[in-house]
Amino acid sequence: MTTPPAAGPPAPLFGAADIRRLAAEVDIRPTKTLGQNFVIDGNTIRRIVAAAHLGPAETVLEVGPGLGSLTLGLLDAAERVVAVEIDPVLAGKLPETIARWRPERAAALDVVLEDALRVTSLPHAPTSLVANLPYNVAVPVVLNLLERFPSLTHGLVMVQDEVADRLAAPPGSRTYGVPSVKAAWYSGMTKAGVIGMNVFWPAPKIASGLVRFTRREPPATTATREQVFAVIDAAFAQRRKTLRAALAGWAGSPVLAEQALRAAGVDPTARGEVLDITAFARIAEARVDAPGAAPTH
């Protein structure tokens, strides 16, 4: 077992010159398709790590370690880091970078060359997720990891600021939508700050936001997660419509939708954006429990 180093002077983190040099060493040009914006500011890394509330015995799952900016900070704070990276050049370079910058912590890092949307097993069960996520897949990555790895009890992710607002939005707010309700199935999410554009290379065109989450039990229901998520997708596919109309296709007809909504104690003229995750679970359950109900899958 490896242990984090004892308290002393702050360990060095990457600045802009380090990141450019590392990128040049492996001859990579950051790509938009993989959401490659690397953090070039040590204070931002310290802020993310502090906001993650990590305990010293934790195994952190980092998605998209890139050139290792955040990985260094995580290795200073936790017992282990498991880093999942899709880019083979970056995944190949990371162990060498860590061996150079944190030789005493090199054994505490596992690098997994995989797509975080598909990864099904990891070398160690992660207790927290801390990541500067590739922005185009941030929401599905978070939902997929919460589903696949029940050992994840909390985390902090950096995403597009607008997505951070959506993930943390409460029912009834303007930004409340599919990501907010699905995330609420697994966890409570709260916004933990905004990060400007100049701390990245290359600088993105939009601000980033931090979201902290803590896992909780999903609502008690006889419906499956898939059945509940099907109601959420149907309700928000036509978010301007009343639930009676929006759920007509899902239920089989507007009358059946109204029946399920009334059985769930939900006003059929309401819109999906006012319902919390427990109400969606009740609607799914009302359909599952309806006499003669057709299977939903």
Residue 37 CB, nearest approach to ligand SAM (Å)? 5
Residue 201 CB, nearest approach to ligand SAM (Å)? 9
**39 is known to lie in a ligand binding site:** yes
Q: Which is nearer to ligand SAM, 28 or 270 (CB)?
A: 28
- Return d(Cα 101, Cα 70) in angstroms, integer: 13
- Return d(Cα 158, Cα 165) in angstroms, integer: 11
- Return d(Cα 95, Cα 3) in angstroms, integer: 18
Q: Report CA 274 to chain centroid distance, whole Å.
A: 23
**64 is known to lie in a ligand binding site:** yes
139, 163 Cβ separation under 8 angstroms:
yes
- Return d(Cα 206, Cα 195) in angstroms, integer: 10
**37 is known to lie in a ligand binding site:** yes
Residue 39 CB, nearest approach to ligand SAM (Å)? 4
- Return d(Cα 250, Cα 232) in angstroms, integer: 10
Q: Which is nearer to ligand SAM, 60 or 90 (CB)?
A: 90
149, 195 Cβ separation under 8 angstroms:
no
**132 is known to lie in a ligand binding site:** yes
Q: Which is nearer to ligand SAM, 200 or 250 (CB)?
A: 200
Q: Which is nearer to ligand SAM, 10 or 88 (CB)?
A: 88
**18 is known to lie in a ligand binding site:** no
Q: Which is nearer to ligand SAM, 179 or 272 (CB)?
A: 179
Buried-exposed string 62-79: b where 16+ CB fall within 10 A, e elsewhere: bbbbbbbbbbbbbbbbbb
- The one-character DSSP state at 198 is T
Residue 221 CB, nearest approach to ligand SAM (Å)? 31
Residue 253 CB, nearest approach to ligand SAM (Å)? 40
1, 8 Cβ separation under 8 angstroms:
no
Binding site for ligand SAM (CB under 6 A): 34-39, 63-66, 69-70, 84-87, 90, 115-117, 132, 134, 137
- Known binding residues for S-adenosyl-L-methionine: 37, 39, 64, 85, 115, 132
Q: Which residues are annotated as a binding site?
A: 37, 39, 64, 85, 115, 132
